[in-house]
Amino acid sequence: MKLSKIAIIDTAIDATRIGGKLFEFVNLCASSDVFNDADINHGTICAMLLDFCADSTYELVNIQIFDNAREKVAKNSSEIGKLAEALQLCWELKVDIVSLSAVSSILSDSKYLYDVTKKLSKRAVIVCSLDNMRYITVPASYPHVLGVSADVGRLLSPGGIAYKMDDPLGANVYANCDFCFLRKRRHWSSNSFAVPVVAAYVNNLLNQGYSISEAKSKLRKLPLYSFDVDGNTSSMMLSSEMETPVVFFSDESTVTCGLLMDALFEKYEVQSAALSFVDGQYDVRVKKIEVGGLLKEDLRYMEKHYKTDIIFIIGLESQLEKTGQVVEIDVTLLKKRDGKTFIKYESGQESVHTAMIPDRLHDILSE
């Protein structure tokens, strides 16, 4: 029987903590795999959880992208580049399961991770943690990735998993990782430690003869997770004013606004997210406004769960007046046919060449 191949992308794994189990090791960072007997690094804890929860054996690949002393969360473009390289390596090594706790709540990092995870998901199950602060997270929030959260409601027994249909952040699987052996070492339940619990479950399914697609389907038939993780956050927030600037962008598709969002990040490291009435490309930064949806509540939810500096509302110019009756718009951008854009804001209005919009918008919102 062919064993499933599982990749843990993290720090280096200390083999002595998993019974000396042999595994393939690839180091993509400058750190050497020196271990401290007094502490257990993040990758090793994930390997211990995987080994503890797996009912059947597997081949293990450890891809190191972080120094052993570092936090797990990717924080700069070089580390995101390493993560993308590690995911590509998983494709080349024909990995069946990716156990991934290295994530980013920086929305613009999607451009490094979307294509490689989309390709890899056709061959493997990518099991990935949601950000512990419950921000939209890449790659966990992608629909082709199996997003995982910890059992914060304490509804499950240690090692138990459940499914939450249509989770708004894309983390549909919940797992209890509150094991005694972790608490004795002063490591607590977290989304990242829930990941190897779910990876072990997927491994057990594959070794029972289920295909990748059948295993994914099986997960959707797990017991439903009934705990409301976020609570009624939208109603609690409606009494306060929006702190994040809202910009109405008139267009017939999301494409131009997407380019504007890219430019704002590349030039000024300004993060953007968008709600859209129109058709177009929908990546993790852009959420379609559903027919009959509550725009104000959508804005509040996005402000709470998207790590963003600006929220765009993309719609036709004819939708501007009605939108302005529901929410307060800080800046309005109206595209014109002459290659210029009319900008209206609190202290004035002007017409500028469309190429200048990132600079002018940044200046206006910085005043």
Q: Which amino acid is at 200?
A: A
> Of all helices (H) and strands (E), which one includes residue 303?
helix 295-305
Q: Is residue 72 part of a domain?
A: yes
Which residue reads 């997960």 in tokens?
A: 219
- Mean pLDDT, rounded, of the chain: 90
Looking at the chain, the whole-number percentage of residues with pLDDT higher than 90 is: 74
Same domain? For 303 and 326 the reply is: yes
Q: Is residue 227 part of a domain?
A: no
Same domain? For 212 and 85 the reply is: yes
pLDDT of residue 178: 94
pLDDT of residue 289: 86
Higher pLDDT, residue 68 or 24: 24
Same domain? For 69 and 165 the reply is: yes
DSSP letter for each residue of 315-347: E-GGGHHHHHHHS--SEEEEE-TTSEEEEEETT
Taking 3-state DSSP, the helix, strand and coil percentages for the chain, each rounded to the nearest 5, stand at: 35, 20, 45
Under the banding of pLDDT at 50, 70 and 90, the label for residue 234 is very low
pLDDT of residue 330: 97
pLDDT of residue 72: 45
Mean pLDDT of 29-54: 83
Same domain? For 79 and 194 the reply is: yes
pLDDT of residue 118: 96
Least confident residue range of 29-33, 97-101, 114-118, 239-243: 239-243
Same domain? For 70 and 208 the reply is: yes
Phi (first) and psi of residue 313, to 5 degrees: -115, 115
Same domain? For 203 and 288 the reply is: no
SS3 sequence of 145-159: CEEEEECCCCCCCCC
Q: Is residue 229 part of a domain?
A: no
- How many angstroms separate the CA atoms of 331 and 323, rounded? 13
pLDDT of residue 280: 80
Mean pLDDT of 154-158: 95
pLDDT of residue 321: 95
Same domain? For 129 and 193 the reply is: yes
pLDDT of residue 242: 76
Q: Is residue 326 part of a domain?
A: yes
Enclosing domain of residue 314: 234-366
| Residue ending a domain, choose from 187, 219, 251 | 219
Mean pLDDT of 271-294: 85
Q: Is residue 343 part of a domain?
A: yes
pLDDT of residue 309: 96
Same domain? For 57 and 177 the reply is: yes
Mean pLDDT of 233-251: 72
| Residue ending a domain, choose from 219, 252, 274 | 219
The answer, yes or no, to whether residue 217 has pLDDT greater than 90, is yes
pLDDT of residue 236: 42
| Residue ending a domain, choose from 170, 189, 219 | 219
Mean pLDDT of 254-267: 93
CATH classification of the domain holding 13: 3.40.50.200
- How many angstroms separate the CA atoms of 26 and 181, rounded? 28
Listed residue (264, 224, 277, 266) closest to 360, CA to CA = 264
Mean pLDDT of 79-88: 94
Q: Which amino acid is at 68?
A: N
Q: Is residue 240 part of a domain?
A: yes
Same domain? For 186 and 43 the reply is: yes
Q: Which two tokens stand for residue 224?
A: 């439903």
Would you say how long the chain is, in residues?
Answer: 367
What angle in degrees, to the nearest 10, is found between the helix axes of 357-366 and 255-268? 60
Same domain? For 269 and 202 the reply is: no
Same domain? For 277 and 212 the reply is: no
Higher pLDDT, residue 237 or 8: 8
Same domain? For 277 and 362 the reply is: yes
Mean pLDDT of 240-259: 89
Q: Which residues contact 363 (CB under 8 A, 6 or more apart)?
A: none
Under the banding of pLDDT at 50, 70 and 90, the label for residue 77 is low
The answer, yes or no, to whether residue 232 has pLDDT greater than 70, is no
Q: Is residue 228 part of a domain?
A: no
Which residue reads 């990995």 in tokens?
A: 95
pLDDT of residue 74: 46
CATH classification of the domain holding 281: 3.40.50.800
Higher pLDDT, residue 68 or 140: 140
pLDDT of residue 22: 86
Listed residue (319, 280, 321, 275) closest to 297, CA to CA = 275
Entry pTM: 0.89
Number of domains forming the structure of the chain: 2
Mean pLDDT of 17-30: 90
Mean pLDDT of 134-160: 95
Q: Is residue 48 part of a domain?
A: yes
